[in-house]
Amino acid sequence: MLTTLADRVELLKIHNADQVAVMKFNEKFAAMAPEDFVETVLVNQLHASTVIVGKNFTYGHKAAGNVDTLIKSGLTHNFTVDVQELKADTEVISSSRIRTLVVEGKVEEARELLSRPHRLDGVVVHGEKRGREIGYPTANLGNIDGQTIPADGIYAGWLTVGINFWPAAISIGTNPTFEGARGRQVEAYALDQEGLDLYDKNASIEFGWYLRPTLKFDGLDELLVQMKKDCDKARELTEK
């Protein structure tokens, strides 16, 4: 998914939603016929006067309801339907299109369609502490299962922990320069910050720019030279 439920609620409130109703999707809800959904949810629970949907909106059991049936129900139940079609460069903006861009590492294009940077939310977990040993302590993000993770590589963006918000150089991958098998890691180095204790704290990483692919270096010295270049570029981009 592109955003967690908490993020979606937060974004709706940022865009002036007075209230957000979260519907529990269970077998009973999934089996609801389109007209039952309209009467139970839109009319009796939400008392809707206007319903805003996308052009390809579907609802009800097996997606049997669509924009046309919703408009007909609106005439019966006295609500209007506002159908929106979002496009960029003549192409429809959809969650699947944005997910594809993110997975391919095209975070700048995804940012344009989202009108904000793509973000991962999780908890800072203990890693191998290699970054700390070489002068670049990173926050390793855990608890991110189910979220859309960008392609392996180095990115420029931001790290947020609590009320603190720092420009960051971000790495996604398996750290191939170092020996040993390891899973993919998402980690962010807060630029020019020292002595941060972030373990077990909720954190967010936002992806602004793709810098380069993950590379395997011949040794630590070569890696450190490149990491400095990455941080300099990330600093330049995030200061714009």
pLDDT digits (tens, 9 = 90+) for 102-157: 999 999 999 999 999 999 999 999 987 777 778 899 999 999 999 999 999 999 99
What is the distance between the alpha carbons of residues 235 and 240, in angstroms, rounded to a whole number?
A: 9
Q: Which residues pair with 119 in a beta bridge?
A: 206
The pTM is what? 0.84
Say if residues 217 and 170 touch (Cβ distance below 8 Å): no
b/e map 32-60, b = 16+ CB within 10 Å: bebbebbbebbbeeeebeebebeeebebb
For residues 32-43, give the mean pLDDT.
98
- All domains of the chain in start order, with CATH: 5-85 (3.40.50.620), 118-238 (2.40.30.30)
pLDDT digits (tens, 9 = 90+) for 58-86: 999 999 999 999 999 999 999 999 999 88
